[in-house]
Amino acid sequence: MHLPIVLLAVVVVVLFLVPAISSQPPPPPPPPEDCERSCGNVSIPFPFGLTERCSYDSSFLVTCESGGPKIVLFYENIDIVNINTNTSELEAMAIVAYDCSNSSYSATFETNGSFSISKKNRLFAVGCNISGDTDNTSCDSVCNYDSMRNGSCLAGNGCCEAKLPKGITGFFISTYRSVGMDRNELDKNPCSYAFVVEQGKYEFSTTDLLDFQGTKRNYPMTWLLDWAIGNDTCAMVDQESDDFLCKGNSECIQEFVGRGYRCRCKQGYSGNPYLKDNCINIDECKVGTHNCKGECIDAPGNYTCPCPNGKPGEYRKDVNTCSADELPIIQIFVGTLVAGLFLILLFTWIYVGLKRRKSLILREKFFKENGGIMLQQKISRDEGPQIQAKLFTVKELEKATNNYDQSRIIGKGGFGTVFKGYLPGDRIVAIKMSKIVDQTQTQVEQFINEVFILSQINHRNVVKLIGCCLETEVPSLVYEFIPNGTLFDHLHNECKSKAINWDIRLRIATETAGALSHLHSGVSVPIIHRDVKTMNILLDSSYVAKVADFGASRLIPMNQDKLATMVQGTLGYLDPEYFQTGQLTEKSDVYSFGVVLVELLTGKKIVDFNKPENERQITKSFLASLENETLFQVLDEKLQLNEVPDHEIILVSMLAKRCLHLKGNERPTMKEVASELERISAPSVIDKHPSVTSTSKEEETTCLLNGASGDYEDIDGTDTSSLEFHSMKASLPK
């Protein structure tokens, strides 16, 4: 058995977002008539040119060399085969990457702002036991010589084929092979190849495995580049401006959705649509492209086929509308047509009526199944104020989300999917579509619970409920749109985490605590969130915190301080006392908030299964660092501790420790937590704290820490928080 030839063809397709549209200098005047418009046997039409004065701008500049025309696009000189102004496409010779025993070549290609890679292209790789795999493009191929055939690469025998993603502007392609292959296999397949070509421009041959370059030297393997003018689309560009190229009988292609705009000659005209007055009328009668049965008369952009004997109508091969001599035939035709139209209208009216009735019945059914009756009963029992949110119709939400287009998805959670939507007046909202309801009605209760709870909350740090829709199989909630994502994303994204310094983190903690305090003690019936975590804290463009996702929340009657529920929460954030007893209290949110404080301080994920078992939960490591006086070794390195007040770090850390007590009655209330954070974050907090009695900074901070730790028990009459503070101060980096 031969050792397999291991060949890896990798195509890294780099997706570029369309850059922000910026103003650009006006293009040069139309090219002079004396411009050279060919290189060898290749035509070079405007907007391309062999000199800058003959091209639209420098990105369309073509060089004419002995081997033919070329255009320079960043890393590669591209050999041009054809330029088509009707389709705005540039056809170029394919770039081939290869790997042989004594040589290799990797191709990097990137367009400039006027070009993109056509979706008509395909990725091909030629070789044995080939595997190409990226986030966007992959293909696999093996070599079974007994069954190998010439032709398509879709079977993956000897070569493989894959589509390229839409809208890309560059790629990197390379191949490499393993060592230790036997001579027999090397003789059959000495090199591996990878290339991008237009679909249909490459046909596999078994001889390619042995000598690809030799057999394909004269083969027209080409690929396509799309091009457009400027940055503005047809809808954005000033079409009355002198700089706009689609003039005369040329029109702007509205269907083109990429960056810039394209021109084409209007129907019935031909020429270069990018040159003024260059689209000339086609004489269909002369060239023979008409479909007249008799005489043909040319007209601007069209033609006519007059009826014999001067009768009105058109005498065409496909449709003959010439008037007949017999009047009764016309009357019969008109009568039949009128009767047919009447029957069509009648059946249409009946069909629309039945469909509308069926739709109303279905909407009423969904309203009941989605908890509409349950919501009405909650309101009627005076469990809360009248809901002010708007009830949206199905059509309103479909229009807002472009029929729930997948590109509008901005998040997925345990209870549903969140879409970005646009209401009339360009108001941006977040639309949460719940998952399909189960037989036990658990998700119905979660959904109605969230509507009912959010309707009672009016706080700047709680996401605002705008409305809901119960008329579809999957119910939906409509919130205000919070543009900056979740706190979790900002803490654990390498780039975003650098933007949230200590002041921002402290403010986020203070605002979140204030929102939870409002839920616990600022509403008529206390609300326990039950799923406090960084993924449920959203940030607006100014990094203002917004507490979200109340699907698991519960109302606590005024005469109770706890509620027996099925345990629910997120691993790492879940209150251990609630987990063991099933008794939900306000202190359960306090514990979860303490975990959030740890996450803000350390910048690490609360549970990380990639670490050793004793290091998986960061809360344990954090509490251990307080006991071992090594707090500053576990803090987030991106906090730049030399610029952060030491006393604020330690006060927040000790507050987190108080929140993380295993016993709920030993934790502070959210109101106390919010007040403490406000004191910590307030300007000149040292001077304002009532425990300050000394001018020494260390003494002042020690007093602050003593004041913040009043709920802790002393051991042998010693203030443990003070001791910990002095030890941690001594371990600070110099």
**Three-state secondary-structure class, residue 729:** helix
Whose structure tokens read 């929102």? Answer: 515
What are the distances in angstroms from CA 549 to CA 162, 431, 531? Answer: 41, 12, 8
**Known catalytic membership, residue 531:** yes
Vertex 403 angle, CA 402 and 404, to 5°:
90
Query: By the 8 A CB rule, do 143 and 151 touch?
Result: no
Question: Which entry of 79, 99, 531, 575 is annotated as an active-site residue?
Answer: 531
Amino acid at 359: S
Query: By the 8 A CB rule, do 60 and 48 touch?
Result: yes
- Sign of the alpha-carbon torsion through 693, 696, 700, 705: negative
- Sign of the alpha-carbon torsion through 224, 230, 233, 235: negative
Q: What is the DSSP string of 157-206?
A: BSEEEEEPPTT--EEEEEEEE-S---HHHHHH--EEEEEEEETTS--B-T
Whose structure tokens read 């919501």? Answer: 375
Whose structure tokens read 């083969």? Answer: 219
DSSP 128: S
Tally Cβ neighbours within 10 Å of residue 441.
Answer: 14
User: Could you tell me which residues come within 8 angstroms of residue 204 by beta carbon, excluding any fewer than 6 positions away?
Assistant: 126, 150, 151, 152, 153, 158, 159
Whether the link from the prior residue into 28 is cis, omega within 30° of 0, is no
The b/e string for 365-394 (b: 16+ C-beta within 10 A; e otherwise) is ebbeebbbebbeebeeeeebeebebeebee
- The C-alpha torsion from 63 through 65 and 70 to 76, rounded to 10°, is -110
**Three-state secondary-structure class, residue 700:** helix
Closest CA to 414 of 441, 446, 452: 446
Output Rg (C-alpha) for the chain, integer angstroms: 36
Q: What are 217's two structure tokens?
A: 């030297």
| Cα within 13 Å of Cα(535), Cβ side | 12
CA dist 149 and 145 (Å) reads: 9
What are the distances in angstroms from CA 147 to CA 96, 129, 144, 150, 157? Answer: 26, 15, 6, 10, 8
Q: What is the DSSP string of 623-659?
A: HHHHHTT-GGGTS-GGG-GGGS-HHHHHHHHHHHHHH
CA dist 91 and 222 (Å) reads: 6
CA dist 656 and 668 (Å) reads: 10
Sort residue 371 into left (φ over 0), alpha (ψ -120 to 50) or beta: left
- The C-alpha torsion from 210 through 212 and 218 to 223, rounded to 10°, is 160
Query: By the 8 A CB rule, do 513 and 673 touch?
Result: yes
Closest CA to 194 of 71, 94, 70, 111: 94
Q: Give the catalytic positions in this structure.
A: 531
